[in-house]
Amino acid sequence: MVNILNSIFLISGRHGVYTGVPPTVMAGFVVVAAALILLGFFLTQKRRSWLQHSQLTQGEIVEISKRFDRSDRRGQHPIFFPVVSFSVNDRQFKIESDKGMAMLSQIGQKMQVRYNPENPYESALGESNIPGIKPSVFFALGLGLLMASLLLMFK
Protein backbone atom coordinates (compact mmCIF):
# COMPACT_ATOMS: atom_id res chain seq x y z
CA MET A 1 0.00 0.00 0.00
CA VAL A 2 2.83 2.41 0.84
CA ASN A 3 4.45 1.67 -2.54
CA ILE A 4 1.22 2.60 -4.31
CA LEU A 5 0.98 5.91 -2.45
CA ASN A 6 4.65 6.66 -3.16
CA SER A 7 4.02 5.92 -6.85
CA ILE A 8 1.08 8.31 -6.87
CA PHE A 9 3.15 11.02 -5.16
CA LEU A 10 5.98 10.41 -7.65
CA ILE A 11 3.60 10.76 -10.61
CA SER A 12 1.99 13.89 -9.18
CA GLY A 13 5.37 15.51 -8.51
CA ARG A 14 5.09 15.30 -4.72
CA HIS A 15 7.51 13.72 -2.36
CA GLY A 16 7.57 12.93 1.31
CA VAL A 17 4.67 12.86 3.72
CA TYR A 18 1.38 14.48 2.74
CA THR A 19 0.87 17.49 5.02
CA GLY A 20 -2.56 18.61 3.85
CA VAL A 21 -3.82 21.48 1.76
CA PRO A 22 -1.55 24.55 1.76
CA PRO A 23 -2.94 27.50 3.75
CA THR A 24 -2.78 29.77 0.70
CA VAL A 25 -5.20 27.48 -1.14
CA MET A 26 -7.55 27.51 1.85
CA ALA A 27 -7.30 31.31 2.03
CA GLY A 28 -8.23 31.40 -1.66
CA PHE A 29 -11.30 29.26 -0.92
CA VAL A 30 -12.28 31.66 1.89
CA VAL A 31 -12.01 34.59 -0.55
CA VAL A 32 -14.16 32.77 -3.13
CA ALA A 33 -16.70 31.88 -0.42
CA ALA A 34 -16.86 35.50 0.73
CA ALA A 35 -17.34 36.64 -2.88
CA LEU A 36 -20.25 34.19 -3.31
CA ILE A 37 -21.89 35.43 -0.11
CA LEU A 38 -21.43 39.06 -1.18
CA LEU A 39 -22.93 38.24 -4.57
CA GLY A 40 -25.91 36.73 -2.74
CA PHE A 41 -26.40 39.99 -0.80
CA PHE A 42 -26.06 42.04 -4.01
CA LEU A 43 -28.68 39.90 -5.79
CA THR A 44 -31.00 40.14 -2.77
CA GLN A 45 -30.83 43.95 -2.91
CA LYS A 46 -31.31 43.94 -6.69
CA ARG A 47 -34.36 41.65 -6.41
CA ARG A 48 -35.84 43.80 -3.63
CA SER A 49 -35.36 46.92 -5.78
CA TRP A 50 -36.92 45.19 -8.81
CA LEU A 51 -39.92 44.16 -6.73
CA GLN A 52 -40.43 47.73 -5.49
CA HIS A 53 -40.22 49.27 -8.98
CA SER A 54 -42.15 46.61 -10.88
CA GLN A 55 -45.84 46.75 -11.65
CA LEU A 56 -48.66 44.23 -11.73
CA THR A 57 -50.99 43.64 -14.63
CA GLN A 58 -53.52 41.04 -15.65
CA GLY A 59 -52.48 38.52 -18.28
CA GLU A 60 -54.35 35.80 -20.10
CA ILE A 61 -53.24 32.26 -20.89
CA VAL A 62 -53.02 32.05 -24.68
CA GLU A 63 -51.41 28.64 -25.07
CA ILE A 64 -50.14 25.77 -22.98
CA SER A 65 -46.85 24.03 -23.63
CA LYS A 66 -46.88 20.34 -22.73
CA ARG A 67 -43.63 18.59 -21.81
CA PHE A 68 -42.59 15.32 -20.25
CA ASP A 69 -40.06 14.57 -17.56
CA ARG A 70 -37.06 12.54 -18.73
CA SER A 71 -37.94 9.81 -16.24
CA ASP A 72 -41.48 9.54 -17.67
CA ARG A 73 -40.63 7.04 -20.41
CA ARG A 74 -44.25 6.21 -21.21
CA GLY A 75 -45.42 9.83 -21.37
CA GLN A 76 -48.18 9.29 -18.83
CA HIS A 77 -47.48 12.31 -16.60
CA PRO A 78 -47.16 15.48 -18.67
CA ILE A 79 -46.11 18.81 -17.17
CA PHE A 80 -47.92 21.92 -18.40
CA PHE A 81 -46.30 25.33 -18.86
CA PRO A 82 -48.80 28.12 -19.54
CA VAL A 83 -47.87 30.91 -21.95
CA VAL A 84 -49.40 34.19 -20.77
CA SER A 85 -49.97 37.25 -22.94
CA PHE A 86 -50.14 40.69 -21.34
CA SER A 87 -50.34 44.23 -22.60
CA VAL A 88 -48.23 47.26 -21.63
CA ASN A 89 -48.73 50.62 -23.40
CA ASP A 90 -50.75 48.93 -26.17
CA ARG A 91 -47.93 46.45 -26.88
CA GLN A 92 -48.39 42.72 -26.43
CA PHE A 93 -45.84 40.63 -24.56
CA LYS A 94 -45.73 36.90 -23.87
CA ILE A 95 -44.14 35.02 -21.03
CA GLU A 96 -43.92 31.28 -20.45
CA SER A 97 -44.04 29.94 -16.94
CA ASP A 98 -40.70 28.63 -15.71
CA LYS A 99 -42.47 26.28 -13.30
CA GLY A 100 -44.56 23.48 -14.67
CA MET A 101 -47.95 22.46 -13.33
CA ALA A 102 -49.27 18.95 -13.03
CA MET A 103 -52.81 20.03 -13.91
CA LEU A 104 -53.93 21.55 -17.18
CA SER A 105 -54.85 25.25 -17.03
CA GLN A 106 -57.57 26.67 -19.25
CA ILE A 107 -56.79 28.90 -22.21
CA GLY A 108 -58.32 32.29 -21.47
CA GLN A 109 -57.74 31.97 -17.73
CA LYS A 110 -56.46 35.20 -16.12
CA MET A 111 -53.10 35.34 -14.30
CA GLN A 112 -51.16 38.07 -12.52
CA VAL A 113 -47.96 39.22 -14.24
CA ARG A 114 -45.29 41.34 -12.56
CA TYR A 115 -43.13 43.30 -15.03
CA ASN A 116 -40.49 46.00 -15.21
CA PRO A 117 -42.17 49.14 -16.66
CA GLU A 118 -38.90 50.18 -18.35
CA ASN A 119 -38.45 46.74 -19.94
CA PRO A 120 -41.65 44.64 -20.02
CA TYR A 121 -39.72 41.67 -21.39
CA GLU A 122 -38.33 41.41 -17.86
CA SER A 123 -41.38 39.83 -16.28
CA ALA A 124 -42.55 36.98 -14.06
CA LEU A 125 -45.84 35.19 -13.55
CA GLY A 126 -47.47 35.69 -10.18
CA GLU A 127 -47.76 38.47 -7.68
CA SER A 128 -44.47 37.97 -5.83
CA ASN A 129 -42.28 36.10 -8.33
CA ILE A 130 -39.09 37.74 -9.56
CA PRO A 131 -37.17 36.76 -12.72
CA GLY A 132 -33.60 35.54 -12.38
CA ILE A 133 -31.62 33.20 -10.19
CA LYS A 134 -32.39 33.09 -6.49
CA PRO A 135 -29.71 34.47 -4.13
CA SER A 136 -30.12 31.50 -1.81
CA VAL A 137 -28.05 29.45 -4.27
CA PHE A 138 -25.06 31.76 -3.74
CA PHE A 139 -25.59 31.89 0.02
CA ALA A 140 -25.65 28.08 0.22
CA LEU A 141 -22.58 27.63 -1.98
CA GLY A 142 -20.66 30.39 -0.18
CA LEU A 143 -21.49 29.15 3.31
CA GLY A 144 -20.72 25.53 2.36
CA LEU A 145 -17.36 26.47 0.88
CA LEU A 146 -16.56 28.75 3.82
CA MET A 147 -17.35 26.06 6.40
CA ALA A 148 -15.38 23.41 4.52
CA SER A 149 -12.35 25.61 4.05
CA LEU A 150 -12.34 26.80 7.67
CA LEU A 151 -12.74 23.22 8.88
CA LEU A 152 -9.82 22.06 6.75
CA MET A 153 -7.69 25.09 7.59
CA PHE A 154 -7.90 24.67 11.36
CA LYS A 155 -7.83 20.88 11.43
Break the chain into its structural domains and give their ranges: 17-54+130-155, 55-125
pLDDT of residue 7: 57
Measured distance CA(140)–CA(27) in Å, rounded: 19
Handedness of CA 60, 66, 68, 73 (dihedral sign): positive
Is residue 145 predicted with pLDDT exceeding 80? Answer: yes
Is the pLDDT at 19 greater than 60, yes or no?
Answer: yes
Pairing verdict, β 110-116 and 91-96: unpaired
Helix or strand run (H / E) with residue 35:
helix 23-53
Residue 40, judged by CB atoms within 10 A of its CB (0-12, 13-18, 19+), counts as buried
State pTM to two decimals: 0.65
Residue 44 has pLDDT above 90, yes or no: yes
Burial tier of 77 (Cβ tally within 10 Å: 0-12, 13-18, 19+): exposed
Q: How far apart, in whole angstroms, are the C-alpha atoms of residue 103 and residue 82?
A: 11
Tens digits of residue pLDDT in 45-102:
999 999 899 989 999 889 888 777 767 666 667 778 888 999 998 899 998 887 777 6
